[in-house]
Amino acid sequence: MRSKSGILLHAIGLVLIIAFSLFPFYWMVSSSFKTQAQILASPPQWFFTPTLQNYADIFADAKVVNAIINSLIVATSTTLLAVALGTPAAFALARYEFKGKSDLWFWFISNRMTSPIVLALPVYLIAMYANLLDTHIVLILIYLTFNVPIVVWIVTDQFKSIPPDLEQAARLDGADQFTIFRKIYLPLGAPGIAVSAIFSFIFSWNELLYALVLTRRNVQTAPVVATSFMSGYELPWGKIMATGTVIVLPVTIFALIVSRHMVRGLTMGATK
């Protein structure tokens, strides 16, 4: 039995942690509804009349709207492709023995050991020679090299936890490999696939370095545009915060939708 004071301490701790992690968020969202003067006021104004001017400003700015559309295109395509390419690879790695399996596995892991900045210049040059600079494709391709390994990692692990008997039962039931993958492994691997899809989406959505290096005017993504506000003489805090809020929104929505699949114990009941 936990004592009453124990529960109380636990609750206080939880509240502190939640407050600590949500406060910056609150600050960003509330500031996006303030005027520049209200934002800079000291002591901070906790109560104020909200204004939508900042949002009106940024949505009037074609640059911001375009950037969000670009980000959506890049992040969605990357995530879909990473899952589509990564899950069959994970199935093979989890369930089959083949030549070069361990090398392939090592490649998937070591891939992320290099710091991205090290590769920025070679990638830039390759993209330039391939005539791909400032296109969606180049960002999608480069993000895939980061995201496919993540999907493969997480999903392989998830697939390995599926009892092999299920696959054999399905084989006896007359299912071919592809059907087994589609009807057994994909649904039962859903939690891992969901987690890796969220990672993939967040990564592609927030990535700044390659987005800066590889894009110019046409395919600027949201983080690039958000930083571009910080170049003038006076920082337009309200617009920055409003852009930030708008940037965070799609990721949050995506994560909320997908996290419905992140339930534990999907394979419960398969075996005794």
Check residue 187 for interaction with another protein (CB under 8 A). yes
Check residue 272 for interaction with another protein (CB under 8 A). yes
Check residue 217 for interaction with another protein (CB under 8 A). no
Binding segment for another protein among 79-87, 158-166, 231-239, 247-255 (CB under 8 A)? 158-166
d(Cα 196, Cα 153) in Å, to the nearest integer? 9
Alpha helix positions (H), the chain: 4-32, 36-40, 53-60, 62-95, 101-110, 116-129, 136-160, 164-172, 177-180, 186-188, 190-206, 209-214, 222-228, 237-258
Instruction: Decide whether 128 or 173 has the Cβ nearer to another protein.
Output: 173
d(Cα 51, Cα 29) in Å, to the nearest integer? 12
DSSP secondary structure letters along 170-222: HHHTT--HHHHIIIIIHHHTHHHHHHHHHHHHHHHHH--HHHHHH--STT--H
Check residue 260 for interaction with another protein (CB under 8 A). no
CA dihedral in degrees (110, 111, 115, 119; nearest 10)? 140
Query: DSSP 3-state assignment of 41?
Result: coil
Check residue 96 for interaction with another protein (CB under 8 A). no
Instruction: Decide whether 168 or 252 has the Cβ nearer to another protein.
Output: 168
Binding segment for another protein among 1-9, 47-55, 85-93, 259-267 (CB under 8 A)? 259-267
Write down the least CB distance from residue 255 to another protein, Å.
23
Check residue 262 for interaction with another protein (CB under 8 A). no
Check residue 263 for interaction with another protein (CB under 8 A). no
Check residue 264 for interaction with another protein (CB under 8 A). no
In Å, how far are 1, 174, 219, 249, 266 from 34, measured between CA atoms? 48, 64, 30, 19, 46
Instruction: Decide whether 131 or 271 has the Cβ nearer to another protein.
Output: 271
Given 11, 130, 165, 257, the residue binding another protein (CB under 8 A)? 165
Write down the least CB distance from residue 260 to another protein, Å.
14
What are the residues binding another protein (CB under 8 A)?
163, 165-166, 168-175, 179, 183-184, 187-188, 265-272
